[in-house]
Structure 1
Amino acid sequence: MELKLAALMREQGQTDPGMRHVTLVINNRPCKGDLSCDELVPVILPAGYSLTVHAPNYRKRFTGGAEPWWR
């Protein structure tokens, strides 16, 4: 869910400033690992964008513009 929203934010944020800072509430924590939402959302989001995710016992603000770990 988080990756799909990050891709949508990247696409629509150029014309809709409201899509540059979004809050998402989900019912499960984001997965972890090298190819997880935790690692990829900051890479997909452009610099200056943010996605705040709330889940049970979890809250994290992802900011865009991160370099991929594989480079």
Structure 2
Amino acid sequence: MNYLVLKTILSNAVTTFVCPHCQSRIKDNNLFLTGLTQEGIAIAVDCPSCHRRTDIQAALKFFPGVP
């Protein structure tokens, strides 16, 4: 997976993720990459407030001929 794509996914996760248990926001150090393939990534998120872990996935779909 391209570094810039991975960086964008992780950055977006930090800015948009809200804990489903307590609605708290997260920071960079709350994300843990748990899986990586050409099609996507698996991320574990540890909530800094309620300390519960949430697993999220991001799948990528590239279309031929689209930059």
> TM-score w.r.t. structure 1 length?
0.27
> TM-score w.r.t. structure 2 length?
0.28
Query: If each structure's helix is expressed as a fraction of its own residues, which one has the higher value?
Result: 1
From the CA coordinates, give the structure whose radius of gyration is larger: 2
